[in-house]
Structure 1
Amino acid sequence: MLKHAQCRVPNLIARNGVRLNHSAAAAAISHSARVSEHTSSPSEELRSDCFTPQEKIDEIDANRPFSNFLTDTFSRQHNYLRISITEKCNLRCTYCMPAEGVQLSASDKLLSTDEILRLARLFVSEGVTKIRLTGGEPTVRPDIIELVQGIGELKQHGLINLGMTSNGIALKRKLPKLVDAGMDSLNVSLDTLDKDMFEMITRRKGFERVLESVHQALDLGMPSVKINCVVIRGINDREVSNFVALTKDLPLTVRFIEYMPFDGNRWNVEKLVPYKEMIQDIESRFGKFEKETDDPNDTTKAYRLPGYAGKVGFITSMSDHFCGTCNRLRITTDGNLKVCLFGPAEVSLRDHMRQSTNDQELCEIIGMAVKKKKKQHAGMFELAAQKNRPMILIGG
């Protein structure tokens, strides 16, 4: 809401959908103010200082249209960016990668820290308000604190939420510094509450360390702490009720993810547990859920049991897709833009940056990719048959 509705705000929206960053906007405002000293009427001069530069920038942000480059042909506005910052992982989860691991990219093929920060700045300047760092396992990256700090500084320029998805193994000792650097959302991947089953699914040890990381995140008062659990029939589907029980006293969200097909994870439909089946099983044990209000772009159908501190959610990509409200884009560790998690189409932003492509040209390349995004992904049987990356090379 304008404090002084009669004041004029210079129109700083560039043509062709290009959004000015805040430093450019401030410079333009300053220039406009200098020009107005010589061209405005006395009454206009009296009004020229009724906004501070920051108030003018905020007003421009609130009123300019969403980036054309990040809007697809179905009018979906993509304000959520997931950036995979490493292909390396200290676990070998069965649904994420083959037992033998994956062929890692050469280091010179991966995005540098400066390239990641450049892309983060560009996407935020175009309207992205949420960034999530994924992998691989983000915490194995040596400069993870500095990287989070660099992206966290974009909260001065329109970024609202900075999150990370982690397996929690090496997270605990780094978490306080990550929070101080600007991270306010944490998703922890945990598919079992049984130590032996954990070692079978992940092919590694470390179950206790994951739980310690979850509790530390809660102790630090992080605004959003979630556990992501991929439910696989015959493996961990009998543990659903144990995860639900966690939400009785802990103010976190447990999200059950339908098992999805990716290269090397040996997906088949018999292993899929549809979310409606999970709900029936939970309600038979705990009583009726209360439905939570979902945000328009939520991937999760959220519920709560009466009197419980936390929530339960279901990510239903296979049995009830949410493509119509998708607002997410992904950048892989080697710098490719994926407009759909399940789509094989990719565009290399890395190659364009290394060819001295400027930000305006990058926006046009991104815009062309976004405009090619399909209305929805293929059905689960088609997905199982088509070629795509293993999940670890996409970014969880």
Structure 2
Amino acid sequence: MNSPKQKNAPLVDQFQRHIEYARIAVTAHCNLRCTYCMREEHEYHTIADPELSSREVGKIIVALASIGIKKIRFTGGEPLLRKDISVLVRQAKSIAGIKTVSLTTNGILLDRHLDELIDAGLDAINLSLDTLDRERYLAITRRNEFDRVMSNLETLLAKATFPVKLNVVMMRGVNGDEIKDFIELTRTHSLTVRFMELQPFDDNQIWKTGKFMGIDKITEQLRSLNPGVQKKQGKSTEYFSFSLPGHQGSIAVIPAYTRNFCSSCNRIRITSHGKIISCLYDKEGLDLMPLLRNNADNNMLTELFRHAAAHKPADGKSAAEGQTRTSMSEIGG
């Protein structure tokens, strides 16, 4: 039997990486159908599957906080499809040990939730937007929501009392010519624009069709367009981080397929159906639902998290062997 000290020991994997960050998908459903993520019919088979309740999300976060998790990010699918999303944020903020609670969204429903999220104490928002062109937005997302998202982004930048990041998935021949336009947003707004590689998880595997745009190409264009760009220290997941003279915001380049940040990975993921995913390339995961549905105590939950951390691979390449995943929506990004 574990001693109290062992039970409360920080979550550390076999490579001595301290796991302090949990991404919790609160739904697998999404109100967009981005071409690099999912087919129109992708999620239909999941509709009947039970998703985590607010009580279960709370139990998970309490367990995680007790073993050293300090940062929670709510993801999806699209997390704002959960009507109780502000309740989940407020609940997470009230749990001892949790330092920051953030959210990743496509922005469509921000007008319904933003005030409540701010009031609940949300610490940061990442908004996913891959183009500043209305027609391209429709082509990428297959939904006519561009005007609403842009309006919500403007409101967010005006109201937010916390950091805002714009996630831009770069695709050759699709939006590769918009780097300059996105950078211009940082001139008058205190936000971070993050140019991201395609993930090798999508229903159509378009990253294999010549649309993949690697970090080297992104960085090359960035430097070519902005000779005055200044490199600064970025976070572990940010291959490069930049600032521009006279700009309020900043720019970052985020690897995905090239995965140069595995050695410093400090995160664990929980799917909306209660699976613990220790690595993006971990296909199976460990199932929390039996414990949650049988009112397992905190110790039983933390033991399962420790088991997941113990089997966290050294890097994505070793975890990916023989594994396939059809969409990032399955694990919340």
Between the aligned partners of 1:108 and 1:98, the Cα distance in structure 2 is 19
Between the aligned partners of 2:62 and 2:217, the Cα distance in structure 1 is 42
Within the alignment, does 1:202 sit opposite 2:141 as a pair?
yes
Between the aligned partners of 1:324 and 1:362, the Cα distance in structure 2 is 26
Alignment match, 2:5: 15
Match of 1:224 among 163, 168, 171: 163
Q: Is the 8 A contact 1:247 1:309 kept in 2?
A: yes
* 3-state SS of paired residue (2:180): helix
* 3-state SS of paired residue (1:173): helix
Alignment match, 2:226: 286
- The count of corresponding residues between Structure 1 and Structure 2 is 330
Name the CA shift for 1:285/1:141 in 2 (closer, same or farther; >3 Å).
same
Name the CA shift for 1:384/1:362 in 2 (closer, same or farther; >3 Å).
closer
TM-score (norm 2): 0.93
Alignment match, 1:271: 211
Between the aligned partners of 1:221 and 1:354, the Cα distance in structure 2 is 37
Within the alignment, does 1:89 sit opposite 2:89 as a pair?
no
Match of 1:243 among 182, 185, 190: 182
* 3-state SS of paired residue (1:270): coil
- Structure 1 residue 93: Cα displacement: 0.6
- Structure 1 residue 104: Cα displacement: 4.2
Alignment match, 1:74: 15
Match of 1:189 among 119, 128, 135: 128
Q: Compare relative contact order (CA 8 Å, sep 6+) and give the higher one, 1 or 2.
A: 2
* 3-state SS of paired residue (2:165): strand
- Structure 1 residue 284: Cα displacement: 1.5
Q: Is the 8 A contact 1:261 1:383 kept in 2?
A: no
Q: Is the 8 A contact 2:237 2:255 kept in 1?
A: no
Within the alignment, does 1:367 sit opposite 2:306 as a pair?
yes
Q: Is the 8 A contact 2:170 2:197 kept in 1?
A: yes
* 3-state SS of paired residue (1:248): helix
Within the alignment, does 1:352 sit opposite 2:291 as a pair?
yes
Within the alignment, does 1:341 sit opposite 2:331 as a pair?
no
Alignment match, 1:103: 44
Q: Is the 8 A contact 1:255 1:300 kept in 2?
A: no
Between the aligned partners of 1:253 and 1:104, the Cα distance in structure 2 is 36
Cα RMSD for the two superposed structures: 2.0
Alignment match, 1:116: 57
Alignment match, 1:63: none
* 3-state SS of paired residue (1:82): strand
Between the aligned partners of 1:221 and 1:369, the Cα distance in structure 2 is 35
Match of 2:199 among 260, 263, 271: 260
* 3-state SS of paired residue (1:164): strand
Match of 2:90 among 137, 149, 167: 149
- Structure 1 residue 146: Cα displacement: 1.7
Name the CA shift for 1:274/1:368 in 2 (closer, same or farther; >3 Å).
same
Amino acid at match of 1:387: T
- Structure 1 residue 182: Cα displacement: 1.4
Between the aligned partners of 2:137 and 2:49, the Cα distance in structure 1 is 34
* 3-state SS of paired residue (2:317): coil
- Structure 1 residue 261: Cα displacement: 1.0
Q: Is the 8 A contact 2:29 2:43 kept in 1?
A: no
Within the alignment, does 1:214 sit opposite 2:153 as a pair?
yes
Q: Percent identity?
A: 35
Between the aligned partners of 2:73 and 2:270, the Cα distance in structure 1 is 10
Between the aligned partners of 1:356 and 1:133, the Cα distance in structure 2 is 23
Instruction: Select the structure of larger CA radius of gyration.
Output: 1
* 3-state SS of paired residue (1:103): helix
- Structure 1 residue 389: Cα displacement: 4.4
Unaligned runs of 5+ in 2: none
Name the CA shift for 1:236/1:307 in 2 (closer, same or farther; >3 Å).
same
Alignment match, 2:262: 323
- 1:280-324 per-residue CA deviation (whole Å, 9 max, x = no partner) reads 2122122142112124x4445311112211111111122352001
Name the CA shift for 1:180/1:300 in 2 (closer, same or farther; >3 Å).
farther
Alignment match, 1:172: 111
Amino acid at match of 1:76: R
Between the aligned partners of 2:34 and 2:259, the Cα distance in structure 1 is 25
- Which shifted more, 351-360 or 89-98? 351-360
TM-score (norm 1): 0.79
Q: Is the 8 A contact 1:92 1:101 kept in 2?
A: no
Match of 1:128 among 69, 93, 99: 69
Between the aligned partners of 1:176 and 1:368, the Cα distance in structure 2 is 39
Alignment match, 1:301: 240
* 3-state SS of paired residue (1:282): helix
Q: Is the 8 A contact 1:263 1:387 kept in 2?
A: no
- 1:80-120 per-residue CA deviation (whole Å, 9 max, x = no partner) reads 11000011111111111123332342556221111011101
* 3-state SS of paired residue (2:234): coil
- 1:308-341 per-residue CA deviation (whole Å, 9 max, x = no partner) reads 1111111112235200110111000000000111
- Structure 1 residue 178: Cα displacement: 0.5
Between the aligned partners of 1:391 and 1:108, the Cα distance in structure 2 is 17
